Amino acid sequence: ATYNIAVLPGDGIGPDVTKEAVRVLELIREVDPEFDIRFTEFNWNSEHYLEHGTMMPEDGLEQLKAFDAILFGAIGDARVADEISIWQLIMPIRKNFRQYVNMRPIKRLAGIESPLKNEAPVDFIVFRENAEGEYSNVGGRLYAEQPQEMAIQNTVITRAGVERITRYAYEYAQATGRKKVTSATKSNAIIHSMKLWDEAVAAVAAEYDGIELESYFIDALAAYFVERPESFDVVVASNLFGDILTDLGAAIVGGLGVTPSGNINPERDFPSMFEAIHGSAPDIAGKGIANPIAQIWSAALMVDHLGRPELAKAIVSAIEQVLGEGKVRTPDLGGDATTEQLGSAIRQAVKEQ
């Protein structure tokens, strides 16, 4: 089949790691003629903003709509306020394309050093609610420059919104043989929105037999992620809780350089978007040493979403093989390889399969 992919490399290390992800996909296209993947690149980034005053053209979403998926680098640039780069590019895509599921696998691959003391296998997946919650843009500021200055930022939790992310998590658990769903809550203190969260999660959980539901307050859950990460299977969390939990999850399995994500539109009426969970990493941008694994793995999630799970598996196996051998590592993993060298080692491993 033919797959048309919109590529938004973004800022900082985004273009470097995205280039390596595209190269892996091009290699697969070479060996598998049934995988006719095509790329259209869009330079919608902070540079675009500085030149044109917008992160993307007015008809940007219209242009993206027709693609089968979006591969997104990362954005963020010291010359442009984060609220502009995030709210004019990522958020409009996630929200308008109804990518309400943010899937973030947290898996400890062999060959990765983790700050965890024990060697227990870590392999769970977080489904972060991606369309509402704390990132709602509802609110405002009052009494500027007065002693009583204040800001209110409302959290939007809807029953339908919680039910659909929870249902997605349960369907995933069922399809992949996972046995437990953990809900991140804080209904002891956030008594309106998180109570509704709890009720909606429980209502969906009741529809599924044989998959246990457990629920923890987010603060305790954060501690458990570090103390016993091997005990988690599927985690469902609100937008903010899921955001924080997944950077923590990334940290326990090797860092932001190796952790992928997919912004999924389950109904498939708009394209889904795949991106590493990290940002533009200004501290290492331009040095050619960013770890491309997170982005290559995100591309594998995209390939899976496009309906080619066996090819996605081949990419992840190649990543595991290179990490397992331990010869080619970027500095974040304790080595001195460049982004290109690690990308090239992964392509070599794909070829050898």
Residues that bind ligand NAI (CB under 6 A): 13, 17, 74-76, 82, 86, 90, 256-257, 275, 278-284, 290-291, 294, 332
Measured between alpha carbons, how far is 279 from 90 in angstroms, rounded to an integer? 12
In whole angstroms, the minimum distance from the beta carbon of 180 to ligand NAI comes to 28
Q: How far is the CB of 239 from Mg ion (least distance, A)?
A: 10
Interface region with Mg ion, contact rule CB under 5 A, candidates 156-164, 185-193, 235-243, 308-316: 235-243
b/e for 212-242, b at 16 or more Cβ within 10 A?
A: ebebbebeebbeebeeebeebbbbbbbbbbb
Taking the complex as a whole, the smallest distance from the CB of residue 58 to ligand NAI amounts, in Å, to: 21
- Residue range at the interface with Mg ion (CB under 5 A); choices 96-104, 138-146, 203-211, 241-249: 241-249
| Nearer of residues 11 and 233 to ligand NAI, judged by Cβ | 11
129 binds Mg ion (CB under 5 A): no
Q: Shortest approach of Mg ion to residue 178 CB, angstroms? A: 24
| Among Mg ion, ligand NAI, none, residue 329 binds (CB under 5-8 Å by kind) | none
Q: Which of residues 11, 77, 243, 275 is near Mg ion by CB under 5 A?
A: 243
Angle subtended by helix axes 293-305 and 339-351, to nearest 10:
40
- In the block, tokens 């869009």 appear at 42
Exposure string for 46-74, b = 16+ CB within 10 A, e = fewer:
bebbeeeeebbeeebeeebeebbbbbbbb
Question: Which of the stretches 53-61, 108-116, 187-195, 236-244 binds Mg ion when contact is defined by CB under 5 A?
Answer: 236-244
Instruction: For the CB of residue 8, give the shortest distance to ligand NAI in the complex, in Å.
Output: 10
The one of Mg ion, ligand NAI, none whose footprint includes residue 294, by CB under 5 to 8 A per kind, is ligand NAI
Pairing relationship of beta strands 234-237 and 123-129 according to DSSP bridges: parallel
Query: Phi and psi at residue 75, in whole multiples of 5°?
Result: -130, 165
CB count within 10 Å of CB 185 equals 22
Q: CB of residue 297 vs ligand NAI: minimum separation in angstroms? A: 11
Query: How buried is 179 (Cβ within 10 angstroms: 0-12 exposed, 13-18 middle, 19+ buried)?
Result: exposed
291 interface partner picked from ligand NAI, Mg ion, none, CB below 5 to 8 A per type: ligand NAI
* Among ligand NAI, Mg ion, none, partner that 243 touches (CB below 5 to 8 angstroms by kind): Mg ion
Contact of residue 279 among ligand NAI, Mg ion, none (CB under 5-8 Å per partner type): ligand NAI
Report the C-alpha gap between 273 and 99 in whole angstroms. Answer: 8
Q: How far is the CB of 48 from ligand NAI (least distance, A)?
A: 14
Give whichever of 18 and 321 is closer to Mg ion, judged by the CB atom: 18
Strands (E), the chain: 2-10, 36-41, 69-74, 101-107, 123-129, 133-142, 150-156, 180-185, 212-217, 234-237, 262-264, 272-274
Structural contact between residues 74 and 275, judged by C-beta atoms closer than 8 angstroms: yes
State the binding partner of 290 from Mg ion, ligand NAI, none, CB within 5 to 8 A by kind: ligand NAI
- Smallest distance from Mg ion to CB 197, Å: 20
Nearer to ligand NAI among residue 122 and residue 290 (C-beta): 290
The residue whose Cβ lies closest to Mg ion is 243
Q: Which is nearer to ligand NAI, 79 or 148 (CB)?
A: 79
Q: Which CB atom, from 194 or from 256, has the smaller least distance to ligand NAI?
A: 256
Neighbouring C-alpha atoms within 13 Å toward the C-beta of 195: 5
Contact 177/166 with Cβ under 8 angstroms? no
Q: How far is the CB of 286 from ligand NAI (least distance, A)?
A: 12
Closer CB to Mg ion, 193 or 280, in the complex: 280
Helices (H), 32-158: 46-52, 60-65, 82-85, 91-96
d(CA 59, CA 272) in angstroms, rounded, equals 18
Binding site for Mg ion (CB under 5 A): 243
